[in-house]
Amino acid sequence: MKSFLNISDLSSVELRSIIDSARSRKISRKNLNKSAPDQDKPFEGKSLIMIFEKPSTRTRISFDIAVKQLGGSTIILNPTGIHYGKGDETIKDTAKVLSEYADIVMIRTDAHKNLVEFKKNSSIPVINGLSEQSHPCQIMSDILTFEEIKGNISKKTITWIGDGNNNMCNSLIEAAAKFDFNLKIGCPVKYKPNKKIIKWAQKNNANIKIFGKPKDAVVNSDCIMTDKWVSMNDKVNKKAKKKSLKNYQVNKKLMSFAKSDAIFMHCLPVGRGEEVTDEVIDGKQSVVWTQALNRVHAQKSIINWCLT
Ligand code: CP
Ligand code: NVA
């Protein structure tokens, strides 16, 4: 049974096939309406259950549209409205029950261990729709977006600015190893990537450099990425964290040190005026709306990969 919990779980060949098929499927339906099914309807008669332990706009809607385009249906569950590991029914039992009803499950969780526990007891594939540790679906769609604009990501330089120890940065580090791009991370010492992931990256020959000065991380880069300074349910002193990251804002000046044709990426939702200025996110180099759209196409491909 295949599941999609982390980019590091898949081989480079598998990940490449997901991106390539997302791209060709997207091209082949370019004249269809947004929610019209693809001609082959590979998910016809099948359903995806989604469980959201925390809020979501893009993940919720893009998975729903992805499944419509694949010819299937979705069921969205709120964990407070079902029996879900809260004493009355274990996650193990929920996983066994949902495996009888649907063909695939997507979970957004506050505790990555819930995904692992669910997967262990499920007989259908499980997709990570964001955990506190990783956000693999977002990074896969970001690679799709990058390649549509800039060509193959291999050997290109991507810069991450801001919180180096969050779910997005973790998945980006894993992707750097698997897709063979150079990753430069600009972050304060306090928010450096965690040691475990850096050790994994080194073992997997990832080309990653960490810089204290944001400018040094941005020089010669093809793409600048950032994320909210305080993630959902981040158990920190928000004011103090924002203060430590205040010099890591992506603004016009910082963008000017990157390649002149560099793109700006953000997974959204955005803290306008904090990690990025309006001028940058609304500017010509920003590709954030295409990133949101491409969640649909990357996730269709992830669903297909899980089921084959
Ligand atoms: N980027 C992303 O996952 O957005 P949502 O939180 O709206 O799903
Ligand atoms: N790091 C952010 C990503 C949101 C899509 C968070 O976890 O809140």
pLDDT in tens, 257-290: 999 999 999 999 999 999 999 999 999 999 999 9
Q: Are residues 127 and 103 in the same domain?
A: yes
| Owning domain of residue 184 | 138-288
Domain count, the chain: 2
The number of the ligand nearest the C-alpha atom of 298 reads 1
Shared domain for 266 and 156, answered yes or no, is: yes
Please indicate, yes or no, whether residues 51 and 77 belong to a single structural domain of this protein. yes
> To test the ligand 2 pocket, which listed residue (59, 63, 130, 270) has its Cβ within 8 A of the most ligand atoms?
130
Q: Does residue 238 share a domain with residue 121?
A: no
Active site residue: 25, 58, 103, 108, which one? 108
pLDDT score recorded for residue 290? 98
Whether 258 and 297 share a structural domain: no
Nearest bound ligand to the CA of residue 112: 2
In a domain, 194, yes or no: yes
3-state helix, strand, coil in the chain (%, to 5): 45, 15, 40
Does 129 share its domain with 175? no
Residues 186 and 217 placed together within one structural domain of the fold: yes
Looking at the structure, do residues 71 and 212 belong to the same domain, yes or no?
no
**Could you tell me if residue 111 is inside a domain?**
yes
Q: Does one domain contain both 80 and 209?
A: no
Tell me, yes or no, whether 214 lies in a domain: yes
Q: Check if 112 is active-site.
A: no
Residue 241 counted as domain residue: yes
Could you write out the DSSP letters of every residue in 129-198? S--SS--HHHHHHHHHHHHHHHS--TT-EEEEES-TTSHHHHHHHHHHHHHT-EEEEE--GGGPPPHHHH
The pLDDT of residue 226 is above 80? yes
Mutate to test the pocket of ligand 2, among 112, 167, 172 (most ligand atoms within 8 A of CB): 167
- Inside any domain, residue 181: yes
Question: DSSP label at 41?
Answer: -
Q: Are 130 and 23 in the same domain?
A: yes
Check whether residue 74 and residue 29 sit in a common domain: yes
Strands 182-186 and 104-108, bridge-based pairing: unpaired
Residue 2 lies in a domain: no
**Rounded-to-integer distance, Cα 96 and Cα 255, Å:** 49
**Cβ of 167 below 6 Å from ligand 1:** no
Q: How much of the chain exceeds pLDDT 70, in percent?
A: 100
Q: Tokens at residue 7, please?
A: 């980019």
The reply to whether 227 belongs to the active site is yes
Q: Of 58, 142, 227, 299, which is the active-site residue?
A: 227
Q: Determine which one of 25, 58, 112, 135 is catalytic.
A: 135
109-119: pLDDT as tens digits: 999 999 999 99
Q: Give the closest ligand to the alpha carbon of residue 265.
A: 1
1 falls within a domain: no
Same-domain status, 278 and 148? yes
Average pLDDT, the chain: 97
Is the CB–ligand 1 distance for residue 76 below 6 Å?
A: no
Asked whether 134 lines ligand 2 (CB < 6 A), one says no
pTM to 2 decimals? 0.98
Q: Is the pLDDT of residue 243 over 80?
A: yes
- Ligand closest in space to the Cα of 292: 1
Is 23 in the active site? Answer: no
Q: What is the CA radius of gyration of the chain?
A: 19
Mean pLDDT along residues 241-255: 98
pLDDT at 145: 99
* Tokens 């000065």 found at: 213
Query: If residue 292 lies in a helix (H) or strand (E), which one and from where to where?
Result: helix 288-307
12 three-class SS:
helix
- Counting residues of the chain whose pLDDT is more than 90, the rounded percentage is 96
Residue 142 lies in a domain: yes
Q: Is 5 helix (H, G, I), strand (E, B) or coil?
A: coil
268 close to ligand 1 (CB < 6 Angstrom): yes
CA of 169 to the centre of ligand 1 (A): 15
Q: Going by CA atoms, what residue is nearest to atom 3 of ligand 1?
A: 59
- In CATH, what number is assigned to the domain containing residue 80? 3.40.50.1370
Name the residue with the closest Cα to ligand 1, atom 4: 58
The yes-or-no answer on residue 267 being catalytic is yes
Cα of 172 to ligand 1 centre, how many Å?
A: 16
